[in-house]
Chains A and B, each alone.
Chain A
Amino acid sequence: VSFLRAPIVVLALAWLVPGLGHALLGQRWRGAVYFVLIAHLFAIGVALTDGHAVDRREHPVAFYAQVPAGGPTLAKLAWDGRSPSPAALGAARRTALVPYETGDAANDDVQRRGIESLVARLDLGLLYTMIAGLLNFLLAVDAFERAIRRGQEDERAALAADGSAASPGAAS
């Protein structure tokens, strides 16, 4: 159990699962609230853009702000990887924002309106997922710092206990 409270382990787990770092340090309610806040921001961003918000090829700069969200980003990438044909999926997703003519006017119109709607929502979706990532980075660093402080307090308490055990009269 003490291994799970080592600062570097807390940092890694807080990155992987938003709020887990705080939960491991005994702040379960805070951890649960943090998880809900980060996960729902990320989910809204992905849902707004039909999944286009998280893509290293389409948005390489935004991707580096989404990576600190940890688990949610990994889950999205794993979900993409579940496709039976990743190469075909990648090609389709790279061209999804580019309209193409099918010859059917009604179909082309529906497709064009869909793309326009997606482009309008893309900035918002990117913003949501990037903010989720950056806020989780802040939370992971906070959990790391709290774990260091907790370790120092435990050391001080142990030293004080040793001191009082070595000289029982000094305490009275």
Chain B
Amino acid sequence: VIPAWLWFGSFVHLALVAAFICTAVKEDEDAHLPARGAGFLFMIGGGTALFCGIVWAVQRFL
């Protein structure tokens, strides 16, 4: 089993890179890139947390 810090670190790392690239292909203006990338990163984090929460709730209550 990989250590929790490695799992979490790799998740954040991959999410950062993916958010940057996915934003960069849609955004021509370099100045807007950080803010939009951060927004997309927040969506990835929020979506993953929501998904994990649903899985946890299904396991816990059903």
Interface residues of A (CB under 8 A from B): 30, 34, 37, 41, 120-121, 124, 127-128, 131, 135, 138-139, 142
Given known pairs A30-B24, A138-B22, A142-B25, the reply for A121 and B2 (CB within 8 Å) is yes
Interface residues of B (CB under 8 A from A): 1-2, 6-7, 10, 14, 17-18, 20-22, 24-25
* Distance between Cα atoms of A34 and B21 in the complex (Å): 8
* Pairwise interchain contact B14-A120, C-beta atoms closer than 8 A: no
* Pairwise interchain contact B2-A127, C-beta atoms closer than 8 A: no
CB A11 to nearest CB in B, in angstroms, measures: 14
Closest 10 CB pairs of A and B: A142-B25, A120-B2, A135-B21, A37-B17, A120-B1, A124-B10, A131-B14, A138-B25, A124-B2, A41-B17
Which A residues lie within 8 Å of B17 (CB)?
37, 41, 131, 135
Which B residues lie within 8 Å of A120 (CB)?
1-2
* Distance between Cα atoms of A76 and B1 in the complex (Å): 26
Q: Which residue of A lies closest to B2 (CB)?
A: A120
* Pairwise interchain contact A37-B2, C-beta atoms closer than 8 A: no
* Distance between Cα atoms of A138 and B7 in the complex (Å): 25
Interface on chain B toward A: helix, strand, loop, or mixed SS?
helix
Known: A34-B21, A131-B17. 14 other contacts (CB 8 A): A30-B24, A34-B24, A37-B21, A41-B14, A120-B2, A124-B7, A124-B10, A128-B10, A131-B18, A135-B17, A138-B21, A138-B22, A138-B25, A139-B25
* Distance between Cα atoms of A121 and B21 in the complex (Å): 25
* Distance between Cα atoms of A138 and B22 in the complex (Å): 8
Q: Which residue of A lies closest to B21 (CB)?
A: A135
CB B52 to nearest CB in A, in angstroms, measures: 17
* Pairwise interchain contact A124-B6, C-beta atoms closer than 8 A: yes
Which B residues lie within 8 Å of A37 (CB)?
17, 20-21
Q: Which residue of A lies closest to B26 (CB)?
A: A142
* Between-chain CB contacts (< 8 Å), 24 pairs: A30-B24, A34-B24, A37-B17, A37-B20, A37-B21, A120-B1, A120-B2, A124-B2, A124-B7, A124-B10, A127-B10, A127-B14, A128-B10, A128-B14, A131-B14, A131-B17, A131-B18, A135-B17, A135-B18, A138-B21, A138-B25, A139-B21, A139-B25, A142-B25
